[in-house]
Amino acid sequence: MTHHKLIIGNCMTMQEIPDESVHLMLTSPPYFNAPFDYKGLFKDYDQYLEMLDKVAREVFRVLKNGRIAVLNIDDMLVNGEKFPIVADATKIFQNAGFRYRDRIIWKKPDGYLRISRRSGVLLQNPYPMYFYPDNLLESILIFQKGKFDYNSIPKETKEASKIDIKEFLDNKWYMTLWEMVNVLPNSPLEKEIAAFPEELPYRIIKLFSYKGETVLDPFVGSGTTMKVARQLGRNSIGIEIKKSLIPIIKKKIGFDGQSNLFNQEDTFEIIIREEGEYGCIS
């Protein structure tokens, strides 16, 4: 039996979540003013970084000592200017108290180009200084709060959460390059949402949490992290600012009264903050 909680509100404040009550944080923050997803969401880059800073400090507070925070994020090209989001986000999480542990590169299929082909500039002008590469990569940044006590996990919990070595080797989880198929734009339940594929939280949740523990996604979107957490026998907490996504999240994670794919004893609750409570990004 697992429990799942959806909070409708701004994740810069997580006062519903007690200190050191979360075992793993996994999220993909909104792209900075991406022309294909969040155009003009933030008034400037400094506001975007300020948002990340507040979220990082709240994540540090709610995460148990020794545990992992994972950020799926990447640099962004906006109006011809490239913003070093990976570098800035890394420093923000370090300043919040986290230790930088690793970086994994997510490679999308070669046929995928969400942004216009930047390499086309050189094709039209085949001379030096006209080169801009097309991007098929995103970063998966891994941070850790303090040191993990490996002896704190009961033997039966370890065995129940044991990683399938064949799956680990066959799918090359051991590499810093993960090749995963992305969610196509306007896929069912993902319209107007920049969602990552289920394979991403599947790997992260298996590698960095035990069964019965709690996984947090502060930018839960359509609920992908919560769905996979439930499938893997973990509890979940999702925070989402868009109230309109509640039906989509309920359907995806199997609490719409129609799914028979999950343990029917699992529970689900929704907390909706009063309009304007804690402010919002605009």
Q: What is the pLDDT of residues 173-183, one digit of tens each?
A: 999 999 999 87
With respect to residue 221, please indicate whether it lies within any of the assigned structural domains.
yes
With respect to residue 117, please indicate whether it lies within any of the assigned structural domains.
no
Residue with tokens 């769905």: 227
* pLDDT bucket at 277, cuts 50 / 70 / 90: very low
Domain count, the chain: 1
Q: What is the pLDDT of residue 276?
A: 45
3 state DSSP class of 146: coil
Calculate the CA 267 to chain-centre distance.
22
Do residues 12 and 6 touch, judged by C-beta distance below 8 A? no
| Pairwise CA distance, residues 17 & 61, whole Å | 9
With respect to residue 125, please indicate whether it lies within any of the assigned structural domains.
no
Per the structure, the complete domain to which residue 85 belongs is given by 3-107+140-272
**In the chain, pLDDT over 90 holds for what percent of residues?**
72
Helix orientation angle between 224-231 and 199-208, rounded to the nearest 10 degrees: 50
With respect to residue 129, please indicate whether it lies within any of the assigned structural domains.
no
* pLDDT bucket at 99, cuts 50 / 70 / 90: very high
Q: Residue 245: which of 200, 192, 204 has the closest Cα? A: 192
Q: Residue 181: which of 229, 118, 110, 116 has the closest Cα? A: 110
Q: What is the pLDDT of residue 256?
A: 81
- What CATH number did the domain enclosing 204 receive? 3.40.50.150
Q: Residue 12: which of 29, 26, 24 has the closest Cα? A: 29
With respect to residue 282, please indicate whether it lies within any of the assigned structural domains.
no
Q: Residue 27: which of 241, 195, 247 has the closest Cα? A: 195
